Structure 1
Amino acid sequence: MADATPQSTFRGLPLTPEQDAEVRHYIKRQKQHGTPWDTPELAAMLEDMLKPPGNEDEGLGATVDETRAAAERATASIDETMEPIEADEERNAAMETEGMRGPRR
């Protein structure tokens, strides 16, 4: 497959080869069904391809850090001489307790 360049992609847009193929497939499918292909759906698809939605995980850094700290506190409460199953149950109970306490400030 040839590399997609702005000169060879749909309307000269900076699309990846996969995106360009998806756009061309959409247009071909619309034409086969005898429906218009230059639709709001195509415009939305192109907008998503050119400007993907923001990262939903951006605000999760603090949550991840707090969860990691809670897991470390729960693990610290386990005695090394415990049986593995008992230690796992104790760790789960400690995690539940940490979860009920809520985030530390």
Structure 2
Amino acid sequence: MTDAAPQSTFRGLPLTAEQDAEVRHYIKDRTRRGLPWDTPELSAMLKDMLQPPDDGDADSPADETRAAAERATASLDEAMDPIEASEEWNAAMESEGMKGPKR
């Protein structure tokens, strides 16, 4: 991901090129529809973009699912045919799901 130069980003904020494009698209869309663009929604979007991710949420459901999928994949043998491997993976995922969330 390439960072855009602060001089060329929205209000000189340290945004990535993708974030800057999203902000500019929001403004263009609001302007095209004749609506004000400097809204609380834009402020919230910028605040979210500028805040670092919260590491306290490391055990989110997505992380748990990803970890379970990795454990299930580790149980597969490369010599298995694709159908057998798929069945084994599904069984391993069901087993992981029965264990419940990690605490």
TM range (shorter): 0.5 to 0.7
Following the alignment from structure 1 to structure 2, what is the Cα–Cα distance between the partners of residues 3 and 47?
17
TM-score normalized with structure 2 length: 0.53
What amino acid does structure 2 have at the position aligned with 1:32? Answer: R
Bigger Rg, structure 1 or 2: 1
What amino acid does structure 1 have at the position aligned with 2:4? Answer: A
| Residue aligning to 1:50 | 50
Identity among equivalent positions (%) equals 65
| Residue aligning to 2:4 | 4
Give how far 1:58 is off: 2.2
Give how far 1:52 is off: 4.5
Superposition misfits of 4+ residues, deviation over 6 angstroms: none
Q: Which runs of 5+ in 2 are unaligned?
A: 72-86
Give how far 1:29 is off: 0.4
| Residue aligning to 2:41 | 41
Give how far 1:54 is off: 1.5
Q: How does 1:13-28 map to 2 (within 5 A)?
A: 13-28=13-28
**Mapped contact 2:9–2:20 kept (Cα < 8 A):** yes
For the residue of structure 2 that corresponds to 1:36, the secondary structure is: coil
For the residue of structure 1 that corresponds to 2:36, the secondary structure is: coil
Give how far 1:38 is off: 0.2
Following the alignment from structure 1 to structure 2, what is the Cα–Cα distance between the partners of residues 49 and 3?
13
Aligned length: 83
TM-score normalized with structure 1 length: 0.52
Following the alignment from structure 1 to structure 2, what is the Cα–Cα distance between the partners of residues 50 and 57?
17
- 1:31 paired with 2:31, answer yes
For the residue of structure 1 that corresponds to 2:27, the secondary structure is: helix
